[in-house]
Amino acid sequence: MKFEDLLSDYNLEPTDLSQFLVNALLAALLTWLVSEFYKKYGRTVSNRSQFSSNFIMLALATMLIIYIVKSSVALSLGLVGALSIVRFRAAIKEPEELTYLFLVIGIGLGMGANQPAITIIATILILALVFLYLKTKKISAHNLDSQMVLNISSKKISETDVNTTIANAFKYADLRRMSNQGDTLYMSYLIDANNFDQLSSVKNALLELDNDIELSFIENKNMIS
């Protein structure tokens, strides 16, 4: 049996198959670009490498679904029914994570709808605008490499004292997490640390407030390795 005969048995044309493969490769390439951009310029306090490893699969799965259902109303209704049964739960901790997921899904939708040109242009434009936005922020994209995560655990210090100490020590300090478990206060900051002496002085200042305080400084590079 010839390959063309096999395709005709499944109502496929050679052009349809080649088009699908090209779009799939473009979707994978664009998603890889988004993944690398997110790992380098993302600002979430999480393992960005692990999170972004799902991007390509998500984009290709979205593309496959759109390819299957776009030509059939019955399949579209079946998809709605299937999604009403299957409940997807994801631990999205930062709004930034959600925006990147929407971008990846958008790439899958665009390629699945056979709109490669507009998908490529839109993806590159979005990433360029995000990069320019980061450059105009108080902490630029260049300074993202010097960011560190500061985790604090204390039973004696109030959140106001901690926040005042951190704000006085760093030019950039963004509070990302704060919670109380029993009588213990947990706080996480994204800070821009210039040198070791700066970290040491902050440590000493916090120890003066609570000798039993627990501190951890994590390099930004370790968060994406």
Q: How far apart are CA 184 and CA 205, in angstroms?
A: 19
Same domain? 154 vs 130: no
Give the percent of the chain with pLDDT over 70: 72
pTM beyond 0.85: the answer is no
224 touches 47 (CB < 8 A): yes
DSSP 3-state of 214: strand
- Confidence band (pLDDT; 50, 70, 90) for 86? low
Could you tell me if 146 and 212 lie in one domain?
yes
Q: Which pLDDT tens digit goes with each residue over 4-34? A: 554 454 455 545 678 889 999 999 999 999 9
Per residue in 126-185, pLDDT tens? Answer: 999 998 888 876 554 444 555 677 888 888 888 888 888 888 888 778 787 888 888 888
Domain that holds residue 206: 142-223
Phi-psi domain of 182 (left: phi exceeds 0; alpha: psi -120 through 50; beta: other): left
What is the chain's mean pLDDT, rounded?
A: 77
Q: Do residue 104 and residue 199 come from a single domain?
A: no
Are residues 96 and 8 located together in one domain of the fold?
yes
Tell whether the model's pLDDT for residue 89 goes beyond 80: no
Boundary (domain end) residue, out of 111, 136, 161: 136
The whole-number pLDDT of residue 207 equals 85
Same domain, 132 and 147: no
- At 222, is the pLDDT very low, low, confident or very high (cuts 50, 70, 90)? very low
pLDDT at 10: 45
* Structural domain ending residue among the three candidates 88, 113, 136: 136
pLDDT reading at 74 higher than 90: no
Report pLDDT for 24.
Answer: 93
What total number of domains does the chain contain? 2
Strand runs (DSSP E) across the chain, as ranges? 147-154, 173-181, 184-192, 214-219
